[in-house]
A = this chain, B = another copy of it.
Amino acid sequence: MKTETKRGRPRKFDEDVTLDRIMLVFWRQGYAATSLDQIAEATGLNRPSLYAAFGSKKEMYLKVIGRFADQMQAHLHDAGLTASGLHPRLKAIMTAAIDLYCGKSSLCNAAYGCLAISTLTTEVADDPDFKSMMAHVVERMDQGFADLIREETKGLVPEANLRFTAQHLSLILHGISVRARTGESRTALQELAEAAVDRLVPETASQTVV
């Protein structure tokens, strides 16, 4: 399998870097309030190049949301590996999420909360494509927490209870995202999250959850 050199004029931009720049614009302003001119300015590209590479504004946004979900999942997964035991791992994940929501991550340096919660939620009521994307993102987050709990409690917790607790953890994170974007301090959110985890899962892994 040889690396066939592409014909035609080469691109002057990196697709991933560009998507990250587009992401930041949508993250700050939301979908509806963002114009293609702003995206063009933020990326250094002109509109025809943007359309050729990513399609319409809506497609750009959906691509960005999907990319964000991927990066978010990887980020939180990594954070969950820095500790051991259900309770400590959950706390590590919460901390990582709060840092990200408050602009303390490589992804974003402003307190914009979660991209999906902060901007996609608005568009959901009037557009089925956005709505199913939103449901997908939330479902992924629930799944992530469920997988972690399942792994750490190996059969000790009924699947139904486990999924329920996972939903509850997602819920907490969504609420924290809202407060992060509203301007609440990182330490205040950290306290809230810690208390929430303490109430949801026991300190020692041997106890039954829920």
Contacts and interface: CB of A to CB of B under 8 A. Distances in A.
Contact count band on A: 35 or more
Contact of A135 (B33, B164, B183, B199): B183
Contacts of A195: 164, 168
Contact of A192 (B32, B118, B171): B171
A49 interface: no
Contacts of A126: 28-29, 33
A182 B30 contact: no
A124 interface: yes
B176 A192 contact: no
A27 B122 CA distance: 9
A182 B122 contact: no
A118 B125 contact: yes
A157 B178 CA distance: 27
Given A121-B118, A125-B29, A168 B183 contact: no
A208 to B, nearest CB: 15
A154 to B, nearest CB: 23
Interface in A10-54: 27-33
A118 B173 CA distance: 16
6 contacts: A30-B122, A33-B123, A117-B121, A122-B122, A168-B196, A174-B178
Interface of A: 27-33, 110, 112-113, 117-119, 121-126, 131, 134-135, 138, 164, 167-168, 170-176, 178-179, 181-183, 191-192, 195-196, 199-200
